[in-house]
Amino acid sequence: MKINRRNFTLTGGALTLGFLLGDGVISLTPAEAKAQNLPFHRLTKNQASLIDILGDAIVPGAKAAGLSHYIDHQLSVRHQDNLLILRYLRVNPPFDGFYSASLQAFEEAIQQRYHKEPSDLTEVEISDFITIMMQKNPEFWSLPGHEAPPAPFFYFVLRSDAIDVTYSTMEAFDSLDIPYMAHLEPAHTWEVSPK
């Protein structure tokens, strides 16, 4: 059976989250939160920037799709509302420590190896680094006193998060020429009030 993909109308629904702004909660997509430069609640600015650098190198488009805001938002909700892929992967909540230890390991390993900051890496350098980290811990990854999750595992998790935020929206389906065919569109029920 062959169906005509254009039989399905794509509505403009998107992945919206409730972001805390001052006293109120507003509904935005992670990409909008990124574009509006909303403050982070759980991540430091540096951690958010490391997430964007590495996440975007693994899944191009993840930074603009709002990867760091997405992770920051998910870290700030109750476990039962948390939607990070880590839920499936035998890491016990809270998940903040997983990201902070991994990001610190990433930053230190880059500094030791290239004698520069992650934001200054060339495309080739970061790509070489990712090729190593997906297979084993790069040199200087997990230093005594700064133990971190295994690099291949962190790579897998961040890659999955980045695919989630970049490719799960209706717009992303449309760009892949896939009909979304929602029964219930995610935009209406996505909101989670940060506590």
Partner 1 sequence: MNYAEKTDVVIVGSGAAGSLMAAKLAESGKKVIILEAGPERTLKDLTSSQIHARRLKWSGDLVMENGAQPIGNGFNSGYGTGGAALHHYAVWPRLHAEDFKIRSLHGRHLDWPISYDDLRPYYDRIQQEVGISGDSQAEVWRPDGADYPLPPVPAFQQSEIIAEGFKKLGKSLSPLPLALNSREYMDRPGCLWDGWCDAGCPTKALANPLAVYLPKAKKHDCQIIHDATVTRVLTEQNGKKTIGVTYRIKDGIEITLMAKMVILAAFAIQTPRLLLASAEGGLANRSGLLGSYIMSHAAALVYGLFEEETEPYMGPTGGQMLNQDSYDHKDKRPQGFGSYQWMIAQAVKPNDLLGFGGSNPGIFGAKLTEFMQRAAQHFGGMTACVEDLPQRENRVSLSSEKDKFGLPLASVTHTSHKDSLALWQGAKQEGMEIFKAAKAEQVWTGPLGPMHLMGGTIMGQDAETSVTNSYGQCHDIDNLFIAGPGLFPTSGGVNPTFTVHALTLRSSEYILKNWSSLT
Within 8 A by CB and 6+ apart from 163, the residues are 59
Q: Is the dihedral of CA 169, 84, 71, 74 positive or negative?
A: positive
Residue selected from 12, 39, 60, 94 as contacting partner 1 according to rule CB under 8 A: 60
Length of the chain: 195
Q: Which is nearer to partner 1, 39 or 60 (CB)?
A: 60
Within 8 A by CB and 6+ apart from 170, the residues are 10, 11, 12, 13, 14, 180, 182, 185, 186
Q: Does 189 participate in binding partner 1 (rule CB under 8 A)?
A: yes
Q: Does 159 participate in binding partner 1 (rule CB under 8 A)?
A: yes
Residue selected from 139, 144, 145, 176 as contacting partner 1 according to rule CB under 8 A: 176
Q: Does 160 participate in binding partner 1 (rule CB under 8 A)?
A: yes
**Minimum CB separation from partner 1 for residue 183, in Å?**
5
What gap in Å lies between CA 166 and CA 161, rounded to an integer? 9
Q: Does 150 participate in binding partner 1 (rule CB under 8 A)?
A: no
Q: Which is nearer to partner 1, 115 or 118 (CB)?
A: 118
Binding mask 64-103 for partner 1 (x = CB under 8 A): ---------------xxxxxxx-xxxx-x-----------
Q: Does 1 participate in binding partner 1 (rule CB under 8 A)?
A: yes
Q: Which is nearer to partner 1, 42 or 159 (CB)?
A: 159
Q: Which is nearer to partner 1, 34 or 73 (CB)?
A: 73
Residue selected from 127, 143, 146, 193 as contacting partner 1 according to rule CB under 8 A: 127
**Minimum CB separation from partner 1 for residue 50, in Å?**
16
What gap in Å lies between CA 91 and CA 172, rounded to an integer? 29
Q: 137-142 long-range contacts, Cβ below 8 Å, gap at least 24?
A: 138/109, 138/113, 139/109, 139/112, 139/113, 140/108, 140/109, 140/112, 140/113, 141/105, 141/106, 141/108, 141/109, 142/105
Residues making contact with partner 1 (CB under 8 A): 1-3, 15, 57-61, 79-85, 87-90, 92, 127, 130, 134, 155-156, 159-160, 163-164, 167-168, 172-173, 176-186, 188-190
